[in-house]
Chains A and B, each alone.
Chain A
Amino acid sequence: MKKKFALLQKSTLLFLLTFLPVAHAQQLASPTGDVLLRITGNITTTNNGDSAEFDLAMLEAMTQTEFTTSTPWTDNPTLFTGVEVTRLLKAVGAGSTQIRAKALDKYWFDADTKNFANVPAIVAYKKDGNYMRIRDQGPLWIMLPFDDYPEALTETNKNICVWQLLEIVIL
């Protein structure tokens, strides 16, 4: 009888463990400051109608990833700090790997995140430790560690590095 109870306890724990991340992911905080990024389209977790909105505090609250790389758009190797794109997509429960990144200057580009599945692509909010102004291609900039992954320096990967990022649409 005691044994059965232990088993029940175990299975409950297992059940909780299995559904905890999902339950957590479904709870997305609401932005308190200026909205820097909107994720729309094929997503399951939202905090404002059909879209998930992020302010700087929310982004900074997530696990941060940083790397130093040279880019076609900087003079010297630069340190970028931000959140991994895949982490963001998981947080909003994206139903597809196809994304469209839109920028402030109306530039947009489509890509499949599978193309850089092994490369920790980030949505950067800091460049060399400083927040970016619009004139510095900020406030958000999708960036790939090209120096660490030279083979990732393809034309499409370069083009998905959208600066002045406003919105990601899951297609």
Chain B
Amino acid sequence: MSGKQLSFVLFIFALLCATQIALIVSQIDKARVQLSNSSPGGLNFLLQTDSIFDEFRHTLSTYVQSSVNADPTPQQTEQYKKQFEMVWSALNVFSLKNPGKNTPLPQLAPLLKDANDFLEKTDPLISSNTPLTIEAAQSIYENTRQISERVHAVGHQYFILSSQQRDELNHRMDTLYRGFWFFGFLLFATAAISTYTLIRANRRSRFLVEESNKTHARLSEVVTELRSGKLERKAKDSFLAAASHDLRQPLHALGLFLGSLEKHVLPAGRPTMQKAQQSASVLTNLFSSLLDLSRLDAGVVKVFKKDFALQPLLQTLEQAFSSTAAEHNIRLVFDSVDATIRTDRVLLDRMLRNLIENAIIHSNGNELKISTRTENSNLLVDIEDDGKGIPNQEHHAIFSEYYQIGNPERDRSKGLGLGLSIVNRLSELLHTSLKIQSNVNQGCKFTLTIPLGRIESITPPTPAANNLLSQDAIDAVIAVIDDERDIREGMEIMLGDQGYATITADSDTELIAILNESDILPDLLITDYRLRENHRGDEAIFNVRKATNKTIPAIIITGDTSPKRVLEASKSGFRLMHKPAAPADLLDAIKQLLLARQRVSD
């Protein structure tokens, strides 16, 4: 039943209940009046009156009989006088409290009148000092008999009447009884329906509250997303992913070509060549930061916290930035305490790099001071410049992507404006607090809070790992799968320059065919992630491994920056590199894998 129908039924029931109550009350009132009228007093009164009349007549008849023989004694006269008084009294009350008071009996009025006449007429005779004559006594006797009979008849009428009234009362009581049952049922039904409705309403409202809570949560989520620019970021991510793949391919190829061209350029062309390489490296850097952001958003960056000394890290930074700082006429001051901290070393390094780089490029100051201090169980790292500062209202905005103060012409040599936004994501990822204190022309101070670590937990770096990178090129056959001819050629030239034998193919099937034909087994496999006809790099590797029946080490190079794709590619478990990969990085990775393979086969 719907809520409306239920309410209607409830309303009808309530109406019925009210009617029923009104009915019952009126019936009860009638019964009450009837009960008070049909009191047993009336009947007893009739009985008394009858008996008084009898007594009087008996006294008179005795008087008449005794008067025939002798004079009446004073006792006898006293007797009938007293009896007459009582008759008077009885008739007095009878006229007041007559049985037909509420349901008038037709005989009553003439009876009362006659009785009154009789009393008035008889009184002088009775009250007189001379005793009653026999005739007078007989006449009074006769009158009394008549009155008495009429009173008796009225009494009988009253009896009949009260019987009827009693029946009526019984009937009324029956009605009341049934009415009460019906009323009780109605009341019960109403209560039951009300309870049911209440429970339903309660359940419904609880459901609605839950729903509204959910909606509220979702709304606030969306609002937060909107506020934090997450939605914007998502849209950007997908745009970047789509656009950058196409940009990366040529950039990647450009890097490879430039790398291999370097040796063949005449001395006169060297400066131009270097400029070209610089440009390529700036471009590569920009793409790398874009990609970093995508990777951070995809959540593929894993945090490995460990205890380590801060000092070496800062020293490396000092060395790395000394020349850049000199270029920008900024004095770098490192003033740090020797402390052990616990966080992800690589990510912290990235954060500090970005912050320092940002200060060098954008502050326009004279000095950049990196200092540390301990507070409670934390180490605070201050990166403080004395430059133009950041207006208060911009403090929040500088962490947004592509946001740059004072770069309206968007000079790309000053970067894309991603540095601080990467710092911000990293600080969230590391759960370190990043505070900014700055005002216009008063410099800018970023403060990082890093938990202190325990010095005894530091694991010394393995010497083998360091040696690995310093090895020279190794004799090896490298197979390259890429659906772009430019890349294949670039790779071939570059790898050839390094002394590697190269086999290139545009798909895994082609490669397998070549391998079968020439009966060569490659030592390493490099493949693009996104291949022709929706093939993926990891599938290609899998197929080649299956065909050669050998677990060939492999590198996947991907141009995808979309978080989903990056995540997918990283899940494949192969060494993953991003386009455009700098030739040096690629060669490093190749060396590492080949060495590892050697060690396994040793």
Contacts and interface: CB of A to CB of B under 8 A. Distances in A.
Contact of B89 (A75, A137, A155): A137
Interface stretch (A41-49, A81-89, A157-165): A157-165
A31 B410 CA distance: 137
Contacts of B93: 73, 137, 163
Nearest to B119: A135
A134 B85 contact: yes
A151 interface: no
Contacts of A136: 89, 92
Given A75-B96, A133-B85, A105 B41 contact: no
B454 interface: no
Nearest to A133: B85
B82 interface: yes
B96 A74 contact: yes
A32 B58 CA distance: 33
Nearest to B82: A134
A6 to B, nearest CB: 62
A58 interface: no
Interface in B81-128: 82, 85-86, 88-90, 92-93, 96-97
A75 B41 CA distance: 18
B96 A73 contact: yes
Contacts of A133: 85
A107 interface: yes
Contacts of B92: 135-137
A163 B96 contact: no
A107 B89 contact: no
B52 A105 contact: yes
A27 to B, nearest CB: 33
A159 B43 CA distance: 12
A104 interface: yes
Interface string A103-141: 011110000000000000000000000000111110000
Contacts of B40: 155
A35 B97 CA distance: 30
A72 interface: yes
A128 B254 CA distance: 137
B184 to A, nearest CB: 30
B39 interface: yes
B48 interface: yes
B90 A105 contact: yes
Nearest to A74: B96
Contacts, number: 45
Interface string B69-87: 0000000000000100110
A163 B92 CA distance: 12
Interface residues of B, number: 17
Given A105-B48, A105-B51, A155-B39, A134 B96 contact: no
Contacts of B90: 105
Contacts of A72: 41, 96-97
B38 to A, nearest CB: 11
Contacts of A134: 82, 85-86, 88-89
B535 to A, nearest CB: 105
Bin the interface of chain A by size: 10 to 19
A127 to B, nearest CB: 12
Interface string B175-195: 000000000000000000000
Contact of A158 (B41, B51, B86): B41
B117 to A, nearest CB: 16
A18 to B, nearest CB: 45
B328 to A, nearest CB: 108
Contact of A104 (B86, B96, B97): B86
B51 A106 contact: yes
Given A106-B51, A134-B86, A159 B41 contact: yes
Contacts of B44: 107, 159
Interface in A48-67: none
A164 B88 CA distance: 13
Nearest to A109: B44
Contacts of B88: 134-135
B47 to A, nearest CB: 9
Nearest to A137: B89
Given A106-B51, A159-B41, A73 B97 contact: yes
Contacts of A159: 41, 44
A105 B96 contact: no
A9 B546 CA distance: 135
A83 B454 CA distance: 109
Contacts of A74: 96
A26 B328 CA distance: 134
Interface in B7-28: none
Nearest to B90: A105
A169 to B, nearest CB: 19
A105 B97 contact: no
A158 B88 CA distance: 21
A152 to B, nearest CB: 15
Contact of A135 (B39, B51, B89, B97): B89
Contacts of A104: 86
**Most chain A beta carbons < 10 A, residue from B40, B48, B89:** B89
A73 B97 CA distance: 6
**Most chain B beta carbons < 10 A, residue from A104, A106, A135:** A135
**Most chain B beta carbons < 10 A, residue from A74, A106, A134, A163:** A134
A119 B51 CA distance: 32
Contacts of B89: 105, 134-137, 163-164
A107 B86 CA distance: 12
A107 B41 contact: no
A130 B179 CA distance: 53
A72 B36 CA distance: 12
Contacts of A75: 96
A155 B85 contact: no
B41 A155 contact: yes
A72 to B, nearest CB: 6
Given A135-B86, A136-B92, A159-B41, 14 more contacts: A73-B93, A73-B97, A75-B96, A104-B86, A105-B48, A105-B52, A106-B51, A133-B85, A134-B86, A134-B88, A134-B89, A136-B89, A159-B44, A164-B86
- Interface pairs A-B: 3 shortest CB-CB: A134-B85, A135-B88, A135-B85
26 contacts: A73-B93, A105-B48, A105-B51, A105-B89, A106-B51, A107-B44, A107-B48, A134-B82, A134-B85, A134-B86, A134-B88, A135-B86, A135-B88, A135-B92, A136-B89, A137-B92, A137-B93, A155-B39, A155-B41, A158-B39, A158-B41, A159-B41, A159-B44, A163-B89, A163-B93, A164-B86
Interface of A: 72-75, 104-107, 133-137, 155, 158-159, 163-164
